[in-house]
């Protein structure tokens, strides 16, 4: 049974000839799920019930998920402005703003039987009476004390913050004149066969200590990403969040692109420009929780604590100090599913990386829970079935409406079926993140001598993924860059990062080791770790220092909230070698496509020699992790006979290596079985280096 074709979400052959339609089709892929068929049926039945309810009451998912066309602010052809807001617990509501001099009684709203308030502001001389980009709010009367409270509209598409006055946001009526509206020029690129993802944060994308803008990212960073060879960008911290230092994970306005970096149309231009370069853009979407802010968030919006969220303790995340959505509520589903549609339609994103999926899947939210991999952990009372079903509906809707979409799950637990289609009982994501891989590297760099690195353990961690469910591997993401931790190069070299990264100074053993292992760790992760690859902005060149946003604890400093791309451009610094290597690695993948090839065959894991050999996508990969010993005429097995040449060598002088490997060498196979392969060839492999060989005719 193969799951590797198409989206990785379909059974392409089925020996039984029939896929059961009760959510247990996934058992044919993984017989270990047999005892948990009841749990699979239960979540599948709930998803199907929601689909039926939405069909019956809303005319189907396509219509239901266009909530943003009905709720929020809309300008009619005659210039009237209609505003609708769901606030079932509120007694009365009024629209206030600059346009009516904040008169709290001038524009009362009427409430329908579903708890939706509505008001029409008549046009003035055929033009909207509410000026473009002027401030607005909804003023609500709530039951408990009949007091007035002003709120930012839940579906608002632009909010701004005047930090000189207060940290609270202002809602804006965003309605630029037709001639000023951004018009997309480029089509979305086709879905990449191999996802090489550059994880980026607009605000830190400048060497200067400031908040960088969408326009600066478009001008300065997009060309770098294109030249490096990445074909997907995952944009973080775009949805408007309350606190810059939260890294974008405390959302207060779900439909607003963060105004910290510029205007909404600047983000559209960024995405459109990337599309013109053939780059796919994903949004880091946060539906796992919401900011608990009352004045500028969804919390207590209509005076109740259970409008969008579960009430009481169930609706609060202990560790994140935030609110948790009630995924079992019809209107909450409308809000969240429409939110996904909005980002796809209005901004032309190509997909999503869903943050905090573990928190959504379990009632314990992963807090204080170590996942052993036992299947009993994925079913039963610890599972939040409503959260699972929401993710099923989201993926079903997105993949039906946008066949080329990419969805990625950030899940620590290893939930089976996360990347299997709903029709088989899966949750429907395209990829999951391999979160154990970076943890292994950090642990070893902290605790082990290089000679004690365990080759079998390394291979196991890189290849231990669910068959037929696509995985994105990474050596380090933004998590490892945050203050309190260190990037890989920092762990490797921090003692000498500030003194010996110049080519004018001697290359010390510390720097030599750091540069060598930085490349080897990335290459083996790329080649062996998954069906996609991710890198966090700046780490491709070994960015020095951690990432720390301005906050009280650092005197609101931007010193660490930036990416020092100037280090790469300085030809006297060694960072450019790592940058060159990363680029070569991405472009070599573009040519040979190992990420979308079947999993590698590992023919050698030699603990004494510290050598790993594997084949993938017709390439032969040879790694020597030994800190001292180089090997001449080292015999490695290879299935395909022929003449091989080096396509990538970490020891190349272009990549800060020592140039001991002659890259013009031709390697001839001998038809003699070795390490369970039909042929062998012999190579020179220096200590702490890796080479990738390809058949000569493919060059």
Using alpha carbons, select from 184, 153, 183 the residue that is nearest to residue 170.
153
Query: How many Cβ atoms sit within 10 Å of the Cβ of residue 384?
Result: 20
- Cα distances (Å, whole numbers) of residue 82 to 117, 119, 330, 346, 428: 11, 6, 23, 19, 36
Out of 410, 411, 582, 651, the active site residue is 410
Active site residue 355: yes
Contact 205, 217 (CB under 8 A): yes
SS3 content of the chain, % helix, strand, coil (to 5): 30, 25, 45
Q: What's 298's DSSP letter?
A: S
Q: Find tokens 């990420």 and name the residue.
A: 595
Residue 544 sits at φ, ψ, to 5 deg, of -75, 155
Is the sign of the CA dihedral 414, 419, 422, 423 positive or negative? negative
Active site residue 590: no
Question: Three-state SS for 528?
Answer: helix
Q: Which string of DSSP letters, residue by residue, matches 556-608?
A: T--TTSS--THHHH-TTBTHHHHHHHHHHHHHHHHHH-GGGSPPPEEEEEETT
C-alpha 667, offset from chain centre: 40
Using alpha carbons, select from 543, 537, 568, 583 the residue that is nearest to residue 198.
537
Question: 368-382 burial by CB neighbour count: b if 16+ within 10 A, else e?
Answer: eeeeeeebebbbeee
Out of 170, 355, 589, 615, the active site residue is 355
What is the C-alpha R_g of the chain? 27
Query: How many Cβ atoms sit within 10 Å of the Cβ of residue 162?
Result: 10
Question: Three-state SS for 335?
Answer: helix
- Residues near 2 by beta carbon (within 8 Å), at least 6 away in sequence: 11, 12, 13, 468
Q: Which residues are catalytic?
A: 355, 410
């Amino acid at each position: 049974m193969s799951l590797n074709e198409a989206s990785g979400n379909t059974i392409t052959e089925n020996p039984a000839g029939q896929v059961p339609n009760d959510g247990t089709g996934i058992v044919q892929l993984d017989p270990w799920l047999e005892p948990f068929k009841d749990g699979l049926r239960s979540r599948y039945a709930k998803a199907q019930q929601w689909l039926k309810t939405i069909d019956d009451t809303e005319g189907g998912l396509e219509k239901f998920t266009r909530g943003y066309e009905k709720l929020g602010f809309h300008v009619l052809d005659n210039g009237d402005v209609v505003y609708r807001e769901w606030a079932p617990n509120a007694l009365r509501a009024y629209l206030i703003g600059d346009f009516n001099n904040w008169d709290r009684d001038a524009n009362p709203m009427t409430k329908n039987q579903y708890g939706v308030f509505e008001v029409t502001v008549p046009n003035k001389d055929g033009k909207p009476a509410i000026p473009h980009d002027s401030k607005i709010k909804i003023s609500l009367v709530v039951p408990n004390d009949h007091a007035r409270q002003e709120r930012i509209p839940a579906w608002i598409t632009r909010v701004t913050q005047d930090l000189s006055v207060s940290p609270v946001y202002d809602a804006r009526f965003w309605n630029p004149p037709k001639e000023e509206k951004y018009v997309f020029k480029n089509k979305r690129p086709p879905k990449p066969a191999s996802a090489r993802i550059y994880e980026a944060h607009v605000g830190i994308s400048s060497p200067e200590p400031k908040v960088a803008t969408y326009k600066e990212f478009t001008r300065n960073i997009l060309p770098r990403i294109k030249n490096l060879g990445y074909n997907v960008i995952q944009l973080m911290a775009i949805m408007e969040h309350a606190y810059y230092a939260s890294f974008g994970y405390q959302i207060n306005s779900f439909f607003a692109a963060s105004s910290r970096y510029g205007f909404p149309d600047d983000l559209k231009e960024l995405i459109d420009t990337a599309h013109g370069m053939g780059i796919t853009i994903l949004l880091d979407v946060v539906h796992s929780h919401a900011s608990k802010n009352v004045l500028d968030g969804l919390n207590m919006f209509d005076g109740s604590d259970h409008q969008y969220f579960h009430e009481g303790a169930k609706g609060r995340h202990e560790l994140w100090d935030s609110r948790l959505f009630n995924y079992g509520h019809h209107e909450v589903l409308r809000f969240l599913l429409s939110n996904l549609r909005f980002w796809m339609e209005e901004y032309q994103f190509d997909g999503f990386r869903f943050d905090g999926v573990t928190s959504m899947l379990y009632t314990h939210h992963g807090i204080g829970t170590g996942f052993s991999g036992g299947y009993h952990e994925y079913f039963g009372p610890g599972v939040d079935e409503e959260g699972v079903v929401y993710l099923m509906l989201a993926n079903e809707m997105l993949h039906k409406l946008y066949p080329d979409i990419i969805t990625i799950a950030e899940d620590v637990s290893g939930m089976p079926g996360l990347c299997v289609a709903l029709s088989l009982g899966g949750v429907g994501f395209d990829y999951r993140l391999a979160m154990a891989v970076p943890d292994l590297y950090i642990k070893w760099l902290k605790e082990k001598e290089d000679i004690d690195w365990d080759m079998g353990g390394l291979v196991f961690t890189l290849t231990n993924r669910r068959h037929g469910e696509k995985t994105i591997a990474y050596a380090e993401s933004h998590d490892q860059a945050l203050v309190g931790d260190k990037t890989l190069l920092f762990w490797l070299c921090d003692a000498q990062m500030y003194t010996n990264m110049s080519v004018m100074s001697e290359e010390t053993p510390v720097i030599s080791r750091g540069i060598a292992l930085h490349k080897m760790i990335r290459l083996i992760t790329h080649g062996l770790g998954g069906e996609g690859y991710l890198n966090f902005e700046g780490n491709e060149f070994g960015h020095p220092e951690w990432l720390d946003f301005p906050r009280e604890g650092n005197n609101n400093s931007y010193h660490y909230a930036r990416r020092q791309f100037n280090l790469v451009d300085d030809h006297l610094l060694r960072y450019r070698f790592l940058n060159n290597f990363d680029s070569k690695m991405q472009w070599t993948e573009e040519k040979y496509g190992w990420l979308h090839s079947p999993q590698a065959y590992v023919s050698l894991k030699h603990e004494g020699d510290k050598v790993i050999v594997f084949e993938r996508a017709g390439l032969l990969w040879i790694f020597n992790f030994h800190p001292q010993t180089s090997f001449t005429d080292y015999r490695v097995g290879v299935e395909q006979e022929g003449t091989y040449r080096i396509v990538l060598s970490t020891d190349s002088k272009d990549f800060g290596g020592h140039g001991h490997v002659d890259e013009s060498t031709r390697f001839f196979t001998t038809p003699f079985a070795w390490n369970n392969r039909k042929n062998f060839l012999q190579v020179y492999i220096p200590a702490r280096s890796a080479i990738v060989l390809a058949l000569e005719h493919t060059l």
